[in-house]
Structure 1
């Protein structure tokens, strides 16, 4: 989840994210609380962020997460009207509070177990140095529980839907797939029982950071 202002400042990092096979999405232009903005200002923010991220990555992003996790139904409808699927996490690692690998691991494993069959989308921050130290121990534990790591769109069941990131690079030959699945565009996707198909053995890390990917 990338801020547009910093995608513009650090395009090489954004391009590296895509080149190494990671999923990329918008987190707005400069991590502004959308609850404080007018509709026109929000649309302007979304547009600026998309342009910067697309320019840096070669991907026209179609997924969005609200800054500070602050939103209401009106904001959801507004952002969806701009052709975004809104994706939020359902597991908070609290890595930005603990700054401790052991505590973060315990927090994640406890939260994942509580989810049961729901596919976890885990919120972490790549500016927290202890997160890098957490993953070598956390990932094997989750795999040991039977989880498979996938990109967020696959985890929430949209990998083959009409809501997808579009590459701005020359297209590869179109694969032969089943007809795309239509989903309501005005729902916040959190892998809750009220939204989309549940994937009990898939898991995704949603990486956010205090500066570049906050």
Structure 2
């Protein structure tokens, strides 16, 4: 499968690309970094500017892409330009290209504003507002076969291969397990047109994904 990973140099993006390449997919990663991120015959790279006009973004996307992942993040800088407007421009560009599958990395309870006063979310209100409306656009203003993955806090620790889904807790996630979950939904048709919260738990990732 030919896959575009928008945000390949981020913490989750790097791990996701590794897993997709290990599964023998052809991966195009986007980054503003100059050096090539992966030495693999199935990997190529784009310098994609999410603050550019939608048509400029669209012109860099190949017509034969099978799936697009959006795992880019502003790191709390330019959240409006990247996490909101940048995300929506990629949704529009992908749809205009006729590409159907779009997998969004979001944040726990991004679509449930009643949870936003909980610890860990209240301090990220601007980011959450951006993720909320980007996700809303994907759900309500696109015809894409989307999946929205909404992890809690990201931690740089070894993955367990086990998660919990939609249990009402934002929780914490190893970056590796988030990437594994993103890779797992690629061919999970039951996740199309679905959004789900996740954190590290006690259920094998493949088994958990089957319950979405």
* TM bucket, shorter chain: 0.3 to 0.5
Larger radius of gyration: 1
Q: TM-score, normalised on structure 1?
A: 0.36
Flag the structure with more relative contact order, 1 or 2, with Cα contacts below 8 A and sequence separation at least 6.
Answer: 1
After TM superposition, the score normalised by the length of structure 2 is 0.36
Name the one with the larger strand percent: 2
